[in-house]
């Protein structure tokens, strides 16, 4: 007897995120990067969006300025006399240059801790000159060279101040990580229950945050209406430190540093792995969050630069200074321009 064919339920159509950035070579577009952008004010109002901004993404290192709030609002920063340099390092994804490693080492020594207390692991400096110098000296990478060593120094400093265990501070169940999780949830104004869980590259817990909530959390670093006084003060100090010490946040010469050096009065910026970028338009209470679907950092950088430009973050003079970041030239081995990484003209 012939059996009736199985009924197959229709698959709901999934609308892909739009192409945000394209890469040219010669006269042709060689690659395309899809993604989403959320522009949100401190009240949670969606000012502008491109693509799916309700999707929960792992913020990765872009979340660091939010995590640094606890270091200040707990009283740890004042107790240990942390300066803008240390607060900027707490937000940093640095390149392991001597200016970074020496500052982290000094910070840890001042609070009575050492690089051995950091549970982030070690890797070679991301800065090529610093890596070469370390290898030529037959040196070994330490936790100080980890691009997240400033953030981890902030964590152990806060734990020390709060009387929490230092060992195991990166575990999701540790009271410090629980407080950091609640901070992000409160700043974004949305429940993060069931949004995805994992481990970041430096070992700390990572959790999904809707892109719109991530943008709102950054907006509230500037527009602090409704925040508790200690958190509001902490937010302003974190933004001030990032503007005062942009090299400590990222390193010499790259996009994050150059934007804050050129437009530091009006923009704060933080990158994250896998195509995530966040920014604050200071004085306007606007947060921006970008996620590139394929995780390409080159595309996230260009998309964020385009968003900042379209939102009026730069003066004409500043745009000229940042021209090579707004459209990134592609050069071959001989140094000849062969293409460009550019945002789509109708991005906004």
In the predicted structure, residue 256 carries a pLDDT above the cut 60: yes
131: how many CB neighbours lie within 10 A of its CB?
A: 18
What is the per-residue pLDDT for 13? Answer: 55
273: how many CB neighbours lie within 10 A of its CB?
A: 18
What is the per-residue pLDDT for 9? Answer: 47
Q: What's the mean pLDDT in 50-66?
A: 97
Fold of 19-343: Beta-lactamase (3.40.710)
What is the per-residue pLDDT for 10? Answer: 52
What is the per-residue pLDDT for 346? Answer: 75
| Residue 177 to residue 59: CA distance in whole angstroms | 15
What is the per-residue pLDDT for 347? Answer: 75
Report residue 46: phi and psi, to 5°. Answer: -80, 105
pLDDT tens sequence across 3-33: 555 455 454 456 899 999 999 999 999 999 9
For the chain, the average pLDDT equals: 95
What is the per-residue pLDDT for 322? Answer: 96
Closest C-alpha to 74, from 228, 283, 258: 228
In the predicted structure, residue 2 carries a pLDDT above the cut 80: no
pLDDT tens sequence across 116-136: 999 999 999 999 999 999 999
In the predicted structure, residue 92 carries a pLDDT above the cut 50: yes
């Amino acid at each position: 007897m012939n059996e009736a064919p199985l009924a197959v339920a229709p698959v709901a159509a999934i609308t892909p995120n739009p192409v945000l950035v394209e890469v040219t070579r010669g006269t042709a577009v060689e690659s395309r990067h899809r993604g989403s952008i959320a522009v949100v004010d401190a009240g949670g109002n969606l000012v502008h969006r491109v693509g799916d901004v309700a999707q929960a993404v792992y913020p990765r290192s872009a979340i660091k300025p939010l995590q640094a709030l606890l270091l200040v609002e707990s009283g740890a920063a004042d107790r240990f006399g942390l300066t803008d340099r240390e607060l900027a390092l707490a937000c940093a994804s640095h390149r392991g240059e001597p200016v970074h490693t020496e500052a982290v080492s000094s910070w840890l020594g001042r609070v009575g801790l050492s690089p051995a207390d950091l549970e982030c692991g070690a890797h070679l400096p991301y800065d090529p000159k610093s890596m070469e110098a370390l290898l030529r000296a037959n040196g070994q990478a330490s936790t100080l060279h980890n691009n997240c060593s400033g953030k981890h120094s902030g964590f152990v400093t806060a734990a020390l101040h709060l009387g929490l265990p230092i060992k195991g501070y990166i575990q999701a169940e540790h009271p410090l990580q629980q407080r950091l999780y609640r901070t992000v949830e409160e700043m974004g104004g949305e429940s993060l229950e069931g949004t995805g869980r994992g481990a970041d590259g430096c070992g700390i817990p990572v959790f999904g945050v809707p892109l719109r909530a991530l943008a709102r959390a950054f907006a509230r670093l500037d527009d602090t209406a409704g925040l508790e006084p200690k958190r509001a003060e902490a937010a302003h100090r974190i933004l001030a430190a990032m503007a005062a010490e942009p090299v400590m946040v990222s390193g010499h010469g790259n996009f994050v540093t150059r934007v804050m050096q050129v437009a530091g009065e009006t923009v704060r910026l933080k990158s994250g792995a896998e195509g995530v970028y966040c920014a604050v338009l200071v004085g306007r209470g606007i947060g921006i969050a970008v996620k590139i679907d394929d995780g390409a950092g080159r595309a996230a950088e260009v998309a964020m630069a385009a968003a900042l430009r379209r939102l009026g973050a730069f003066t004409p003079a500043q745009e000229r200074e940042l021209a090579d970041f707004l459209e990134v030239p592609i050069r071959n081995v001989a140094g000849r321009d062969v293409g460009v990484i550019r945002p789509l003209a109708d991005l906004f």
